Amino acid sequence: MFKPLALLAPALIPSWNFFDVIAPSPRLEYALGTSAAAAAGPWRAFRPLPPRVAPLEMLRRLVWNPRWNETLFLVSCAERLINHPTAHSEDEIFRRLAADLARGPDPEAGKPWLSFRLVFLSREGEALVETELFRAAPRLRADLR
């Protein structure tokens, strides 16, 4: 009887010791432009968190939240891009940014160039300091589909 419980316990009571380092997550920001040079700002936060989530929406998100899962995947790609840069991580971020921007009405349709950057926010005294850790070279949105 003890053996099955010993095998099942790690699944029921997870260990949180798998984090190597507790550090801030990079924030993903994007910019659109009419040319490669113009896609260097102004920067917009990608999928900013809502200021408030209704209780029923929170319950629904506990069961079904594919958008948040994709956002967590993008954070993982961003962390990998900072620690061990690969073309795969950069390509994934570009591809998902372009797909997300193409989902709705596009008020920026005349701006075909897309770029992104990864920033950390930290507090120094009373001020928030933004540190840019990575900036991708702009790409044409049409090439990312």
Spell out the per-residue pLDDT of the chain, length 145, in tens: 557 777 777 666 666 555 566 667 789 999 998 888 888 878 999 988 889 989 998 888 888 888 888 998 999 999 999 988 899 999 999 999 998 888 877 677 778 899 999 998 888 888 888 889 999 999 998 877 6
Residues 111, 33: contact at Cβ < 8 Å?
yes
**What is the pLDDT at residue 78?**
92
**What is the pLDDT at residue 104?**
72
**What is the pLDDT at residue 123?**
83
Which residues, listed in sequence order, are joined to residue 134 by a DSSP beta bridge?
Answer: 118
Classify 47 in phi/psi space as left (phi over 0), alpha (psi -120 to 50) or beta.
Answer: left
Tokens read off for 124: 């120094």
Collapsed DSSP state (helix, strand, coil) of residue 105: coil
**What is the pLDDT at residue 14?**
62
Residues 137, 115: contact at Cβ < 8 Å?
yes
Residues 116, 46: contact at Cβ < 8 Å?
yes
The DSSP output letter for 103 is H
Collapsed DSSP state (helix, strand, coil) of residue 45: strand
**What is the pLDDT at residue 101?**
86
**What is the pLDDT at residue 20?**
63
Residues 115, 138: contact at Cβ < 8 Å?
yes
